[in-house]
Structure 1
């Protein structure tokens, strides 16, 4: 009720000054524009700063937090620009122009929705701060959470020997580093999160009872939710995981003493914010957040991304809808080409229909500013229309060339849907089709990789069931045959190195689990699980890149090697 009252007062106050805000933003934009035309005009630059300060005062008065901070950062940028600014200050002026544009859009956003979500502006704010070499604000800057002060305490489990702690923490740190590197490279996002999650979960178990265990539990949950809900890996979130890597280094360097280290509230707050923002309302998430007296945020990651797109341009939902419509048109073209190629077209309008569909494709691609792809579609349409007018039927080679071009457009649309609109999308128009780039070969590769993943996951579940049943070997009955199937799949896609690792794992399972009369040591099972997990993630990386992630394979080799295989 209190929040609703505050929102109502803010809305009423905004109505009183809305016109003044709009006029002041316009005056700031005009002053900046005049200064850019004549950089000796210090008066125009000062006027721009004065108008921004005036806006900041208004936003502070009506408690519009997003507008207040954006104006504050804009003033800081403007103060970095000297009178008579040379070209090396162009980036600062460009940042200031963008900030004014976004400020106007944010005011319009608030006017329509009457919701102040300053987190929508965090990217532009941090962009401004980066332009003047200031430290970026964390993702959780606008998030309120209270932390209770606790006395740091070390690891309580005295049964863990220092050398075992050092060995395990070193292996977990290695896994964490490989995962972090994948995230920083932005090449293997899913694998990176899975490795971070497993490493964090391992650290939480290793540090059970200590002060730092809570930090690793939050990390494990946050990484799992980011992967599960496809949360955006922003620069600020990357920095959170980079800061956590320092804790892994201290645990390797200092040993058990490091478990008593005081947790950084900033890092913990960022992790709690990720969990609250995830949109996950499961019992586990609610339980963790309740410990910090917060609830899952209603304005979650999905809404944040969608609303930010309103400020920054076309969003993923728009591109997805366009891609769906384009795919439908392309499928219609492919079906019609197939009918013509088989010689079963019932009338003479087939080529004309394909040409009309290509015309629709070209218009949509032009709207997306994909000029090369649009020209490709237009060229095909012109050729088909000419054949249709003269009554000429294309031969098989000509139909294949048309089909190849249509497949190029289809590939571009798929990329548009998966990765968004980038400058690389339009280059696909100039690619030459060959066997290696065939989408059908790619699909076959994906099927084989998928079967391999399923086999490794089944083997992991069987071993887990074996452990939970206190060593009932019946659960392992089919593991060897499953691994043999995965081995054949790996050899089929010429992954001999991965196949060798899998052979070693199979031999380890045979000798240490199936033939052994005694229960295997926890250390052996943990390391074997690490090896299987690393290989599973490597196979998963093959689904996105034919070469795979060699570091993951090395991680699996190291794990198997440490077991003596």
Structure 2
């Protein structure tokens, strides 16, 4: 990337650039209105050719490539037509104009910011997408350091299908748009296991950098672009080769393009993961531009959007809470109550509910407001009329809660209540408390298992686990999470019979498999806390891990 230290040239040419972009936009609009107007496309192509020359002179590599793609898209329109290309060109004109403004104002090029626009043009033209690392330079000849420990190819071949399935569960959830963080961590865990089992082989460097890239995506909460999804899918193809080709796959190096793309993602991360930190150090990836910065600059250049419905729901909650506070004080007899004000609040809530097409609920509140408006300040809080008011307000609150739920995927915690007099918000809070307690129990179990391994397999560190797992199982039963509960019961049985009561230590592979089972349940619960359901595929991984340990659970028929 060529850094611009003096924007004088760009500033001098900016007026010409803006005029050329405006001319291109007008010509494209003329073509869109009169499809047979070939001269409009000619003028448009000439404008893009001019922009390409200016970009080359300014040494703006991304703008040069985008101008070239725009020129080629015009040629494609002449030959084949297509509304998708017209739309993509219109978006590209706007984006390129903003990019020139960005470079001028920020004195910074960041060519990565035009990758999305370039690929939109290529996609509309039926061309393959360019890699996200297109403008990224790195020395691909560097070897892995430190060298990995001796691997266990036999164990890898034995566990390959399950580890690939673990990865696929995460990848499928990610592609569906479910809980990205938990799914990415699941994928990173699978790649870490593969990397450790590969050991010293020709394919080792690839799994190391792939693991680093996935760690960075997960730990730095990077945006999942179509290009990044495609890269993660490529990892699955490499896992497939391991499963079906075995030692022959271990002896082959992966394509350098995959390694370069993986290194680019690692360069955007903070390097906090084990593999990510190693990779950044070996390849000198201290670029100073994180994905957070990149996305922030993209938002600055392209703008952002918000959710009107969420804003409405938030306003409704605030209004309902104000009325609830007034009624709470009234029920305690703390002060005289202004029921005319309460009625006004009910009418405002009703008006807002109408905005989101909740006419029935709005009418009920208006009827209640008409009755409440003339109440004296000392109405008996135990009277049927007061209770009816509280019930109507609770119904309105649950309507808002249902509205908020409609904006997010459903999950196993936020299910509807059979008792309409229970606040959905309070019920969710109670269930979420149980989820938190279950996760705390799993965290305690993981620490105990780690201490057990670190202290020469001393079973004393496991004495508290049966009780801990009993508590977790009880919480999962309350939440009606039967599959997760069955996994935890199997874990408890395994620990009691083979770790505490066994004659010999289980060994590292068995402990890793047990950790896979616990991790799957923990990810499942974490997704509920974050209101980003991960799906039950992660429980398939837990069940497969327990089956590998000798505790087969119900067959689910989920295979990769």
Structure 2 partner of 1:368: none
Report if the CA contact (8 A) 1:110-1:116 is conserved. yes
Structure 2 partner of 1:90: 83
Candidates 134, 138, 144, aligned match of 1:145 = 138
Per-residue CA deviations over 1:167-202 (Å, capped at 9, x if unaligned) read 022322221222222212222323321221111111
Shift of 1:212: 2.3
Structure 2 partner of 1:535: 521
Change in Cα spacing, 1:101 to 1:448, as seen in structure 2 (3 Å) is same
Structure 1 partner of 2:434: 448
Per-residue CA deviations over 1:155-178 (Å, capped at 9, x if unaligned) read 9948x464x331022322221222
Report if the CA contact (8 A) 1:340-1:350 is conserved. no
Shift of 1:306: 2.1
Equivalent runs, 1:422-501 vs 2, <5 Å: 438-501=424-487
Counterpart check, 1:336 vs 2:318:
no
Change in Cα spacing, 1:106 to 1:529, as seen in structure 2 (3 Å) is same
Counterpart check, 1:308 vs 2:331:
no
Report if the CA contact (8 A) 1:165-1:256 is conserved. no
Counterpart check, 1:55 vs 2:51:
yes
Candidates 520, 527, 539, aligned match of 1:553 = 539
Candidates 504, 510, 522, aligned match of 2:496 = 510
Shift of 1:530: 2.1
Structure 1 partner of 2:30: 34
Change in Cα spacing, 1:281 to 1:390, as seen in structure 2 (3 Å) is closer
Counterparts of 1:213 and 1:433 in 2: how far apart (Å)? 57
Candidates 164, 172, 175, aligned match of 1:173 = 164
Counterparts of 1:546 and 1:23 in 2: how far apart (Å)? 46
Shift of 1:62: 1.0
Report if the CA contact (8 A) 2:175-2:229 is conserved. yes
Change in Cα spacing, 1:302 to 1:408, as seen in structure 2 (3 Å) is farther
Change in Cα spacing, 1:214 to 1:440, as seen in structure 2 (3 Å) is farther
Change in Cα spacing, 1:524 to 1:284, as seen in structure 2 (3 Å) is closer
Secondary structure (helix, strand or coil) at the match of 1:498 reads: helix
Secondary structure (helix, strand or coil) at the match of 2:134 reads: helix
Structure 1 partner of 2:99: 106
Change in Cα spacing, 1:557 to 1:409, as seen in structure 2 (3 Å) is closer
Shift of 1:549: 2.9
Counterparts of 2:461 and 2:310 in 1: how far apart (Å)? 45
Structure 1 partner of 2:70: 74
Structure 1 partner of 2:113: 120
Report if the CA contact (8 A) 1:380-1:402 is conserved. no
Counterparts of 2:262 and 2:230 in 1: how far apart (Å)? 12
Aligned length: 530
Q: Which runs of 5+ in 1 are unaligned?
A: 366-370, 425-431
Q: Bigger CA drift: 17-26 or 382-391?
A: 382-391
Counterparts of 1:327 and 1:511 in 2: how far apart (Å)? 51
Counterparts of 2:483 and 2:114 in 1: how far apart (Å)? 47
Q: Bigger CA drift: 225-234 or 330-339?
A: 330-339
**Root mean square deviation, CA, Å:** 3.9
Equivalent runs, 1:80-479 vs 2, <5 Å: 80-82=76-78, 85=81, 89-148=82-141, 157=150, 160=152, 162=154, 164-280=155-271, 285-295=276-286, 297-314=287-304, 327=314, 330-331=317-318, 333-340=320-327, 343=330, 346-347=337-338, 350-351=341-342, 354=345, 372-373=355-356, 383=366, 387=370, 391=374, 397=388, 400-401=391-392, 404-405=395-396, 408-409=399-400, 438-479=424-465
Change in Cα spacing, 1:563 to 1:444, as seen in structure 2 (3 Å) is same
Equivalent runs, 1:516-531 vs 2, <5 Å: 516-531=502-517
Change in Cα spacing, 1:215 to 1:415, as seen in structure 2 (3 Å) is farther
Report if the CA contact (8 A) 1:358-1:380 is conserved. no
Q: Which runs of 5+ in 2 are unaligned?
A: 377-384, 411-417, 552-560
Change in Cα spacing, 1:155 to 1:468, as seen in structure 2 (3 Å) is closer
Change in Cα spacing, 1:387 to 1:261, as seen in structure 2 (3 Å) is same
Structure 2 partner of 1:428: none
Shift of 1:150: 6.0
Of structures 1 and 2, the one with the larger relative CO (CA 8 A, separation 6+) is: 2
Q: Bigger CA drift: 258-267 or 217-226?
A: 217-226
Counterparts of 2:47 and 2:213 in 1: how far apart (Å)? 41
Shift of 1:237: 0.7
Report if the CA contact (8 A) 1:356-1:381 is conserved. no
Q: Bigger CA drift: 251-260 or 279-288?
A: 279-288
Report if the CA contact (8 A) 1:542-1:549 is conserved. no
Per-residue CA deviations over 1:204-238 (Å, capped at 9, x if unaligned) read 11111223223223333332332222211111111
Counterparts of 2:37 and 2:311 in 1: how far apart (Å)? 51
TM-score, scaled to structure 1: 0.82
